[in-house]
Chains A and B, each alone.
Chain A
Amino acid sequence: SWMEGRSTPMIFSACVREWNNVTFSDIISTVEFNHTGELLATGDKGGRVVIFQREPESKNELFSQGEYNVYSTFQSHEPEFDYLKSLEIEEKINKIRWLPQQNAAHFLLSTNDKTIKLWKVSERDKRPEGYNLKDEEGRIKDLSTVTSLQVPVLKPMDLMVEVSPRRLFANAHTYHVNSISVNSDYQTYMSADDLRINLWHLDITDRSFNIVDIKPVNMEDLTEVITAAEFHPHHCNLFVYSSSKGTLRLCDMREAALCDKHSKLFEEPEDPSSRSFFSEIISSVSDVKFSHSGRYLLTRDYLTAKVWDLNMESKPLETYQVHDYLRSKLCSLYENDCIFDKFECAWNGSDSVIMTGAYNNFFRMFDRNTKRDVTLEASRESSKPRAVLKPRRVCAAGGKRRKDDISVDSLDFTKKILHTAWHPTENIIAIAATNNLYIFQDKLNSEMH
């Protein structure tokens, strides 16, 4: 396994997206590779989507392979105002999902709190030339010189990437959309908000079907919200959604049109000895992801990442401590609202390693086979291009401190890594650290080519 050895072979590849004047709108809010990994999309709080493309292989330059450069940038969402409810609708991109490729163009869904949009990203390398009644600059020709009809001819031109809006899926969510997920049938997708999940046909924008509704008749009885939802990668009828109570529900759409009744409920019984005021908050699931095989589920709560087997509902198969040293600091994390941060998680291509973010621009990886784990840092100060990333270690309060260890008290809680993505087949990862996007790849991966 690539994580073996004393130093991790992850090398710093490129820091491709950064702005000198950091504004709120530059903060990256989602990262997503497409199905081949050739493209990587990020969304930010300013409603923009930036797409990166992997550079084609070059034999001359060492390490040149695997670099991602900006392919296209476009404004996906604009701030809006809901006049009926006197509510501002932020332009922040909550999620991006790529559609399976169907022709030479690429398609992605992007969503803010309310509206989901389908975008087409395509290339054009020809343009028509030749008018009958004017020249190419638009000047009207002297008609006495025009004696025959001319049909325009297509001439090659510099490659141009065009992004065009294809569909707008609006007015279906009363609450904030937290997830979108494309079905393996290639024709439907779902969108989940705090209380409901809707099913859409990709070609139909004027109606969607509600498949889950957990809104109580009386909102005062509300005890739990939906935090994330995802379709099974192969079985078109299965999907999972997670809740703020730390549970996962697997639903089978074959059984009924409404999936209010789940097929399976994954829940870990609470340990009464560790119960505290924060128990419920920190057990809220912030992200759920099916493994590529479809057999396992990866969830993230505030302190841990868990792997569940679809065949075992009673407890997780594996539990990984992401930053257990924060357990003693929950009180101050509650006061500065950090305890409500929603960390996402990711699988590697072979489902053997999982990755998730932490504070101080740290992110964690866990090898499921060797049970090794590593803490790495995404920052420009600590990583030079093509240098090997050094593992970091946080020393718990009162613990024995070694050289280079960072004390819990000196962690920077404003630098958090919430969004990460793993290339679908290779060991290339994308890490969003506030306004910076870091792409790292495993050394082996780059040397092999």
Chain B
Amino acid sequence: EEKRAGPASTLYCADGDDSLYPIAVLIDELRNEDVQLRLNSIKKLSTIALALGVERTRTELLPFLTDTIYDEDEVLLALAEQLGNFTMLVGGPEYVHCLLPPLESLATVEETVVRDKAVESLRKISQEHSPVDLEVHFEPLVKRLASGDWFTSRTSACGLFSVCYPRVSSTVKAEIRQHFRTLCSDDTPMVRRAAASKLGEFAKVLELDYVKSDIISLFTALASDEQDSVRLLAVEACVSIATLLPQEDLETLVMPTLRQAAEDKSWRVRYMVADKFSELQKAVGPEITKNDLVPAFQNLLKDCEAEVRAAAANKVKGKRLNIMLPFIRLIQYTNQHVKSALASVIMGLSTILGKDNTIEHLLPLFLAQLKDECPEVRLNIISNLDCVNEVIGIRQLSQSLLPAIVELAEDAKWRVRLAIIEYMPLLAGQLGVEFFDEKLNTLCMAWLIDHVYAIREAATCNLMKLVEKFGAEWAQNTIVPKVLGMANDPNYLHRMTTLFCINALSEACGQEITTKQMLPVVLKMSNDQVANVRFNVAKSLQKIGPVLDNNALQTEVKPVLEKLASDQDMDVKYFAQEAISVLPLA
């Protein structure tokens, strides 16, 4: 016979007042079938440990957790994270080594995020080990992982060397260096990649002599690994290693490898050099940059692979322009992808160059790019106009800008149209109201009847931003009449656009325009034969209600909503009733 009971009175903690029932539930749910409940229990592991006390946590909970590595990734990830903060719960630094077994098994699972988290927690608790414990417990763990059968454990080991190295005796230090060397030439590329990615970090904790003797040879070896994926990580390590070495050693120890990487057969390695260019430049200092890196960079800008050129083009900002300009011109005649990447950074150059240089060197480029055949290039120029505006004023560009904008506004791809709409408020602000009324207003209105909904929606939002910029009076004269005119359009989608515009504009236009001009149109549309229009009338009334004065609300809105609330269509009824319940109607 089953006996159902609430929290049991007998489940008390040692100190006698807290019920242990919730803890019992948490422990039981550690093995619940529902992963969410298991996850929940793991996230409250500290509560469980606190209730069990340090002794039982060490002797019962941790052994159980050590073998729980069969679970879902998200549970294991949470567990790995929790264990990083568990030192006090196992009895303080004296017992922190008890946390090593569960973390060790988590460091061998196949899921990278879990392994990385386990390594992170191991690094964290390594700091809580006394120097003796570090050698007795932690360092053997690192060795076990480093010589493990599976490459998952060896990859995890790579992240642990740098945290124990500074705190161990010189004999153990020598062993650690040996282990790291072994992993750098591991059979599996996974492990060599892990080692390459930790090379810089490990170099930082090594004595300078060992950096020169050990690290440099490992770096050179990894940088000429047969696997592209290993070589490209060596480029990253190059940054950290170069910062550690005195300037006079760079030329002999680092530069040959870096030069080789910049000319690697694999585009992915060259890409990495292009991508890390700014960091590399800082690390090697101005002299080497001038003599070595700049020519290398110029080659990367001319690389045969577009991805490399694009990465290099993205780093153009901040380079000396007299060096770069010829190449920027050159890029004009290359691949679309690169041009587009360049277009997104070239505008930023104007702030660095100042007014005269911008007009002389960059303006022709901007103008050429505004006429580029690729819409993305034009868009990237237009989207960064604000930088140029600050330096030379947008008027310089307006003659070329307009055709570019008009063309983008009518582009066959709706995503291009959508992108240009998003820049309209910015352009309007920079070009001024006159220019806008004259040239751009028609475009903005045309988007309202675009056949793609996303465009109509963006156009509505655009109008709102324009009104916020140019004010209610401008809206009343230029926009509102056109919007309201669409209420009589034979296409019901356009009639609905009127309602969406009113929703967006009412607040910016204010009470007077909303009550006098917009409300009558909305009310009239409540008789529309299309149900979608009618329920949008109900939604619009709910939306603009707060802007209206109370009189209009009671005498005009209320009767219409009541009528809609008894509409034949159930959606219309629903939204009308919702509006009635939300609005302050008497």
- Which residues of A are in contact with B by a Cβ distance under 8 Å? 100-105, 107, 120, 122, 124, 126, 128, 131-134, 139-140, 142-144, 146-154, 162, 184-187, 203, 234-237, 253-257
Contact = CB atoms under 8 A, between A and B. Distances in A.
Given A154-B64, A255-B267, A120 B110 contact: yes
Interface stretch (B27-35, B285-293, B393-401, B533-541): B27-35
B93 interface: no
Contact of B60 (A139, A151, A186): A151
Nearest to A188: B229
Contact of A132 (B27, B108, B265, B267): B27
Given A102-B150, A149-B11, 10 more contacts: A131-B28, A142-B3, A143-B8, A144-B9, A151-B60, A152-B31, A152-B64, A237-B228, A253-B268, A256-B305
B150 A101 contact: yes
Nearest to A255: B267
A267 B21 CA distance: 76
- Tell me which of A126, A153, A162, A257 has the highest count of chain B C-beta atoms within 10 A of its own C-beta: A257
B268 to A, nearest CB: 7
A150 B52 CA distance: 9
Contacts of A134: 28
Nearest to B268: A254
A271 B72 CA distance: 59
B30 A152 contact: yes
Contacts of B227: 184-185, 236
Contacts of B60: 151, 153
B67 interface: yes
Contacts of B4: 140
A144 B8 contact: yes
Interface of B: 2-5, 8-11, 20-21, 23-25, 27-28, 30-31, 51-52, 56, 60-61, 63-64, 67-68, 70, 108-110, 112, 150-153, 188-190, 193, 226-229, 264-268, 304-307
Given A152-B64, A187-B190, A105 B110 contact: yes
Contacts of A132: 24-25, 27-28
Contacts of A149: 11, 20, 23-24, 27, 51-52, 56
A232 to B, nearest CB: 11
Contacts of A254: 228, 264-268
A256 B305 CA distance: 6
A146 B110 contact: no
18 contacts: A100-B188, A101-B150, A102-B150, A103-B152, A103-B153, A104-B150, A133-B28, A139-B2, A140-B2, A140-B5, A149-B20, A151-B61, A154-B63, A185-B229, A203-B112, A254-B265, A254-B268, A255-B267
Nearest to A107: B110
B5 A185 contact: no
Contacts of A154: 63-64, 67
Contacts of B228: 185, 236-237, 253-254
Contacts of B27: 132, 149-152
B150 A103 contact: yes
B391 to A, nearest CB: 35
Contacts of B5: 140, 142-144
A128 B31 contact: yes
Pick the 7 closest A-B CB pairs, nearest first. A143-B8, A254-B266, A132-B24, A151-B60, A103-B150, A143-B5, A103-B152
Nearest to A162: B70
A256 B151 CA distance: 30
Contacts of A255: 265, 267, 304-305
B434 to A, nearest CB: 46
B11 A147 contact: yes
Given A146-B11, A257-B306, A133 B25 contact: yes
B226 A235 contact: yes
Given A102-B110, A187-B229, A203-B112, A151 B56 contact: yes
Contact of B151 (A102, A107, A162, A234): A102
B272 to A, nearest CB: 13
Contacts of B52: 149, 151
Contact of A133 (B24, B190, B265): B24
Of the listed residues B27, B56, B108, the one surrounded by the most CB atoms of chain A closer than 10 A to its CB is B27
Nearest to B113: A203
A235 B28 CA distance: 51
A195 to B, nearest CB: 22
B406 to A, nearest CB: 29
A148 B68 CA distance: 23
B188 A257 contact: no
A254 to B, nearest CB: 4
B24 A185 contact: no
Contacts of A105: 110
A144 B10 contact: yes
Contacts of A122: 70
A149 B52 CA distance: 7
Given A132-B24, A149-B23, A256-B305, A184 B110 contact: no
B10 A143 contact: yes
A100 B150 CA distance: 10
A156 to B, nearest CB: 11
A36 B10 CA distance: 57
Given A203-B112, A254-B265, A147 B151 contact: no
A258 to B, nearest CB: 9
Nearest to A141: B3
A124 B67 CA distance: 10
Contacts of B2: 139-140
B13 to A, nearest CB: 9
A132 to B, nearest CB: 4
A92 B77 CA distance: 35
Contacts of B70: 122, 124, 162
Given A146-B11, A151-B27, A152-B27, A257 B267 contact: yes
Of A103, A128, A133, A149, most buried by chain B (CB within 10 Å of CB) is A149
Contacts of A150: 27
A122 B31 CA distance: 19
A425 to B, nearest CB: 16
A374 to B, nearest CB: 36
Contact of A146 (B8, B63, B109): B8
B10 A147 contact: yes
A311 B322 CA distance: 47
Contacts of A100: 188
Given A237-B266, A257-B307, A102 B28 contact: no
Nearest to B307: A257
Contacts of B264: 254
Contacts of B265: 254-255
Q: For A203, A235, A236, which residue has the most chain B Cβ atoms within 10 angstroms?
A: A236
A146 B10 CA distance: 7
Nearest to B115: A103
Given A124-B70, A144-B10, A185-B227, A257 B28 contact: no
A103 B227 CA distance: 22
Given A186-B188, A236-B229, A257-B267, A103 B110 contact: yes
Nearest to A150: B27
B150 A140 contact: no
Of A103, A105, A124, most B-chain CB atoms within 10 Å: A103
Given A133-B25, A187-B190, A237-B266, A151 B64 contact: yes
A185 B192 CA distance: 10
Contacts of A184: 189, 227
Contacts of B268: 253-254
A256 B152 contact: no
A260 to B, nearest CB: 13
Nearest to A101: B150
Nearest to A127: B31
Contacts of A203: 112
Nearest to B303: A256
A186 B150 CA distance: 13
B475 to A, nearest CB: 42
A203 B52 CA distance: 38
B189 A257 contact: no
